[in-house]
Chain A
Amino acid sequence: MSESGYTPSHLLHSLKELAEWVRSPAPTGVYGLMAEFANADDVVTAARQVRAAGYRKVDGYSPYPMESLIHELDQHHSWVPTIVLGGGLTGFLAGYGLEYWSQVIAYPMNIGGRPFHSWVSFIPPAFETTILFASFGAVLGMLALNGFPRPYHPVFNIEEFAKNASNDRFYLVIEAADPKFDVAVTADLLKTLNPTFVKEIPA
């Protein structure tokens, strides 16, 4: 299993998918199949089996972050760190640039005989703007990558999910958009993985 085999071509692929999604008509029919599991063991094992069977549009759901589930679903890669780096660099340049421009160009003033470009004194504010922009990058980046705010998602159509996903149950969802998806075959596979139920998710 690749640890972080995410390349620019993957990004291109994601963008193409996004474009397809934008052009696609309003969803009808089935969003996918959902299996509920009573414990962490079962969902991790199920995720591995489903991946091994060749399904790729699979998502797991757990009431707390599970390293093992993320690992099985190969979802380790995230653009958040890159966005944070970009935010930090922007913050530093913006902060230092503002200081340089205001103290040297816009409003040069002799204060205690210090040079206009007092770079040592400029470090603390530039440091703070670096942290500020990087933090906004982390939060807004995370929200944007997760597609938030999102008022509607088909998985909430399953009553048990809406009640227990954030409490103590674990779920695996295989989307109908997966090329290997077939309502009967996929449901049979999920039923062999010791779920408490398998249900169709209306879109």
Chain B
Amino acid sequence: MDPRFIPLPLVAPGHTNDSVTEKISHMTLEKETPRAWWLTLFVALGMAGGLGVAIIGLLFVGIGLWGPNVPVGWGMDIINFVWWIGIGHAGTLISAILLLFKQKWRNSINRFAEAMTLAAVLCALQYPLFHTGRPWLAFYWLLPYPNTMSLWPNFRSPLIWDVFAVSTYGTVSLLFWYVGLIPDLGTLRDRAKNPFVKVLYGMGAMGWRNSARHWSNYEKAYLLLAGLSTPLVLSVHTVVSFDFSVSLIPGWHATIFPPYFVAGAVFAGFAMVLNLAIPVRWLYHLEDVITMRHIENMAKVMLATGLIVAYGYFMEFFMAWYSGNFYEWFMMKTRSSTGPYAWSYALLILCNVIIPNTLWWKKARTNTIWLFIVSVFVGIGMWLERFVIIVTSLYRDFMPSSWGYYKATEFDWMFFIGTGGLFLTLMLLFVRFLPAIPMSEVKMILPGAEGRVKR
């Protein structure tokens, strides 16, 4: 066989069960925290402080601090919400869908990606929560509970579907992540020297003792959770896209939205996984467990989903023309060429269609610096996609008398940068205090893990 087609090993040769445990638990238990970690935490906490200021300001003054106004009633709050939720989707794709497809390369990156999902969902939740203005009053029309006004939420509304989809998604992601962590918390409990730390990890491990009986139940639960998360993750961004496509606004009312949103979510999510994994891999010397094969596979998924997204852009254009609908075609023309926001569409095509296509070349997929740059562009591009969909559909609708312009305020930006800080802080704490690479799952893919089975 041509040596170019023989897959690289998923764990660098020479690793044993003991060396895997040593390498990964060392990161949490013994290694001196790298200076770069403290520096990034410092910056991240500063950014997150901005979020605190933005929230306090919003609660004192009201949502007039933000940019949305007639006719663009949804602005950065929804753009950022969709962006963050989308990023989370890659984590579930890696942990659940790739597990069902028996893609063993997921084993060393799934923990990390799931943690990213949780942090991203938490950031996303800030937007709808604070967009309600007075969140403590918002519960009676968001959640069904018996209240003194005898009111019930309207279950025919996609916004209520969204509440159910996103809250279920956050909860199930947390459960999935925790179940995966239990055996590794057991390992940390067994290795910790400090009795206080030992007790803490021990409580997390709940008495896990690696018994075959336990593994049997555990594997069933893990596989079923993956099976449940798969339709769940597809439903979440589908429901998010319903927020738009169930309405009648030109540019929103499109049947292609659900698959197009899901592909975009995975696209942005893989870009974020790479943006996080490349520096962490370098900082903690993880090249032997997050190998070039992992990096290249992620680049391939990014390329594939990027092409689906590009097809979505083309289809939106085509349908606007082919439908013969005057308003659709007008929207598409102002969006892409004649309107004051045409720059955003051009940038979107550059970031999401042109730059990712360099990943057809193996040289580009295996160059971590270039891959990092492409991922940053994809992140920006997917943010612009939501900007284009939301703002350029609303600012010039049916009636020229109601046309307007949208401009984000300083508070919008502060909130966005603040959630970025929150995200980074959570990821840094995760890498420092929990096993970022699943030890038990990496051991499963070492050679000889099952023994020479003769049945």
Contact = CB atoms under 8 A, between A and B. Distances in A.
Contacts of B165: 124, 128
B444 interface: yes
Contact of B155 (A43, A102, A112, A131): A102
B164 A129 contact: yes
A146 B190 contact: no
Contacts of A125: 155, 160-161, 164
A73 B212 contact: yes
Interface stretch (A74-82, A181-189, A191-199): A74-82
A156 B232 contact: no
B361 to A, nearest CB: 37
A80 B453 contact: no
A89 interface: no
B334 interface: no
B451 interface: yes
Interface in A112-162: 112, 114, 118, 121-122, 124-125, 127-129, 131-132, 134-136, 138-139, 141-143, 145-153, 155-156, 162
Interface in B182-234: 183, 186-187, 189-191, 203, 206-221, 224-225, 228-229, 231-232
A60 B17 CA distance: 17
B366 interface: no
Contacts of B190: 162-167
B214 A146 contact: yes
B448 interface: yes
A80 B21 contact: no
Given A65-B219, A167-B190, A138 B232 contact: no
A63 B443 contact: yes
A193 B1 CA distance: 41
A139 B191 CA distance: 26
A36 interface: no
Contacts of A69: 212, 451
Interface stretch (A10-18, A21-29, A103-111): A103-111
A145 B218 CA distance: 10
B216 A131 contact: no
A103 B203 CA distance: 43
B110 to A, nearest CB: 14
A60 B179 contact: no
Contacts of B212: 59-62, 66, 69-70, 73, 75
Contacts of A42: 451
A127 B231 CA distance: 10
Contacts of A139: 175, 178-179, 221, 225
B437 to A, nearest CB: 13
**Interface size bucket, B side?**
35 or more
B155 A122 contact: yes
B215 A131 contact: no
A70 B186 contact: no
B449 A40 contact: yes
Contacts of A63: 17, 21, 187, 210, 439-440, 443
B32 interface: no
B450 A66 contact: yes
A80 B228 CA distance: 13
Contacts of A99: 155
A132 B168 contact: yes
Nearest to B18: A168
Interface size on A, as a range, is 35 or more
B247 to A, nearest CB: 12
B102 interface: no
B35 interface: no
A102 B152 contact: yes
A142 B218 contact: yes
B63 to A, nearest CB: 25
Contacts of A168: 16-18, 21
A136 B207 CA distance: 20
Contacts of A44: 450-451, 453
A103 B210 contact: no
Interface in B281-305: none
Contacts of A128: 161, 164-165, 168, 232, 235
B186 A127 contact: no
A132 B239 CA distance: 16
Interface string B420-455: 000000000000000000011101100011111101
B449 A124 contact: no
Contacts of B103: none
B223 to A, nearest CB: 9
Contacts of B221: 80, 84, 138-139, 141-142
A155 B440 CA distance: 20
Given A124-B161, A138-B225, A156-B209, A64 B443 contact: yes
B404 interface: no
Contacts of B17: 63-64, 167-168
A98 interface: yes
A2 to B, nearest CB: 14
A107 B219 CA distance: 44
Contacts of B8: none
Contacts of B203: 149
5 contacts: A41-B448, A44-B453, A68-B451, A142-B218, A149-B206
* 4 nearest A-B pairs in the assembled complex, by CB-CB distance: A150-B207, A168-B17, A142-B221, A40-B451
Given A64-B449, A168-B18, 18 more contacts: A40-B448, A44-B451, A63-B17, A65-B444, A66-B212, A80-B224, A99-B155, A124-B161, A124-B165, A125-B164, A131-B228, A131-B235, A135-B172, A135-B228, A148-B208, A150-B207, A166-B183, A166-B210
